[in-house]
Homo-oligomer: A and B are copies of this chain.
Amino acid sequence: MQPLGVGLIGTGYMGKCHALAWTSVRAVFGDVARPRLVHLAEANIDLAQARAAEFGFEKATADWRLLICDPEVDVVSITTPNQFHADMAIAALQAGKHVWCEKPMAPAYADAERMLHAAKASGKAAVLGYNYIQNPVMRHIRALIGEGAIGAVNHIRVEMDEDFMADPDAFFYWKSELSAGYGALDDFAVHPLSLLWYLFGHVEAVVTDMVKPYADRPLKDGGRRAVENHDAATVLLRLGGGISAVLMANRAAWGRKGRIALQIYGSSGSISYDQERMNEFELYQAQGRGTEQGFRKILTSPAHPPYDRFVPAPGHGLGFNDLKIIECRELIRAISGEPSSIVTFEDGLRIEKSVHAMAQSFHERRWIEIG
């Protein structure tokens, strides 16, 4: 197999995460060719050059369109702010590149639809960066559910919470503008939705509430400005097969740092998980003597692939960045036409449709069916 030529647009939080994944994927997995780090784009040419040197890219540019036209680039990592995703992804696909775009697709649903159309027209791999589904824990939970380890699932709760908007005295910034989206719904809800999709399929109906913990925030220059979106959202959901679920998202939840807490109840057992302790999960099975039934805390191990590709000893733990390495290998498999576990633009569009339905439910104060 020819090495893939990689282009990277954006070098912030997720940009570095992609760069690390491209750097290590071959050494970790062994079964994919070593990617060639070809071209890196950043808004500022100095920064672009500095990051290219750090991350090991051959070329640097301040014009992402140059990168997209580079014939040595086969696949483009898009890690810029959400409002740029659509233009970049569509241009890349139209230029015949595969695309690995960070979630969500785009703030506006119509833009996300255009992205999907471009993907379909291109015939190229178009993959979204929903890396939490790549956790070996999540893969194993999916396998357990599939084999009936907790019976028929009937009820789910999922919470995603952080506290970066929790301080009422923090200055107003763009995250609180309407143009940045609904707030907790699109910042956070898409992640739990990707897990629900991965484990159970798509959402069928929702009713939503949202709140602004702080009506306004101080401005740096003095005065205050009204907050325009909602830091906390709560949603009742129905999935297929009559499964009820609750989704709670709060970016103003003091003390929560990277929490994605999942509870899954079935007819013969239950499962719980928290992303803040991403190397373990809990399983209850109504089996054996009642006097010894209890939630089992299971640590990941080489028996939960692809944990084994990272560490051959159990209980030693993967990190957040390792999830992106796993996703990168799945992407490469998708590009090669092999079976892979990824969120395509098609899956992603449906996730975003759910988010918009949630917002609509809040504004119209009623249940919304998602067609």
Contacts of A244 in B (CB 8 A): 209-211, 232, 234
Query: At the interface with chain B, which of A92-100, A152-160, A192-200?
Result: A152-160
Check if B27 sits within 8 Å of A23, measured CB to CB.
Answer: yes
Bound CA–CA A149/B315 (angstroms): 24
- Spot the interface stretch: A74-82, A102-110, A295-303, A345-353: A295-303
Of all chain B residues, which has the CB nearest A269?
Answer: B254
Asked whether A127 is an interface residue with its Cβ less than 8 Å from the other chain, the reply is no
Q: In the docked arrangement, what's the CA distance between A96 and B30, Å?
A: 32
Q: What residues on B are CB-neighbors of A27 within 8 Å?
A: 16, 19-20, 23, 54-56
List of B residues within 8 angstroms of A44 by Cβ: none
Cβ contact within 8 Å between A236 and B234: yes
- Given A55-B27, A294-B296, A319-B321, answer yes or no on A270-B255 (Cβ-Cβ < 8 Å): yes
Report if A338 contacts B (CB, 8 A). no
- Most chain-B CB neighbours within 10 Å: which of A12, A17, A321, A367? A321
Residue contact A254 to B242, C-beta cutoff 8 Å: no
How many residues of A are in contact with the other chain, CB < 8 A? Answer: 102
Within 272-318 of A, Cβ neighbours of B (below 8 Å) are at: 276-280, 282-286, 290-299, 301, 303-304, 310-318
Known: A155-B211, A258-B316, A316-B258. A298 touches B304 (CB 8 A): no
Q: Any chain B CB within 8 A of the CB of A259?
A: yes
Cα of A159 to Cα of B17 in the assembled complex, Å: 34
Name the B residues within 8 Å of A151 (CB-CB): 168
* CB contact between A207 and one of B210, B236, B283, B303 (< 8 Å): that residue: B236
Within 8 Å CB of A172, what residues of B?
none
Contact A298 B294 (CB under 8 A): yes
Chain B residues, CB < 8 A from A157: 159, 248
Give the contacting residue for A254; candidates B265, B296, B367; CB below 8 A. Answer: B265
How many copies of this chain sit in the oligomeric assembly? 4
Partner of A253, one of B155, B159, B164, B285: B155
Q: Are A291 and B304 in contact (CB under 8 A)?
A: yes
Identify which of B30, B166, B278 contacts A317 (C-beta below 8 A). Answer: B278
A9 an interface residue at 8 Å Cβ cutoff?
A: no
- Asked whether, in the complex, the Cβ of A283 is within 8 Å of the Cβ of B294, the reply is yes
Asked if A252 CB lies within 8 Å of chain B CBs, one says yes
| CB-CB nearest in chain B for A315 | B257
Contacts of A266 in B (CB 8 A): 254
* B-contact bits for A191-223, CB 8 A (1 contact / 0 none): 000000000000000011111011000000000
In this assembly, does A267 line the interface, its C-beta being within 8 Å of a C-beta of chain B?
yes
Whether the Cβ atoms of B209 and A267 lie closer than 8 Å is no
A12: chain B residues at CB < 8 Å are: 312
Tell whether, in the assembled complex, residue B276 and residue A283 are in contact, meaning their CB atoms are under 8 Å apart: no
A315: which B residues are within 8 A, CB to CB?
Answer: 162, 256-259, 276
Question: Looking across the interface, which residue of chain B has its beta carbon closest to that of A150?
Answer: B254
Residue A28 is within 8 A (CB to CB) of chain B in the complex: yes
- B contact residues around A124 at 8 Å (CB): none
What distance in Å separates the Cβ of A269 from its nearest Cβ neighbour in chain B? 5
Return 12 A-B CB contacts under 8 Å, by A number.
A13-B311, A163-B286, A235-B236, A254-B268, A254-B269, A256-B315, A258-B315, A276-B317, A291-B298, A296-B296, A296-B297, A311-B319
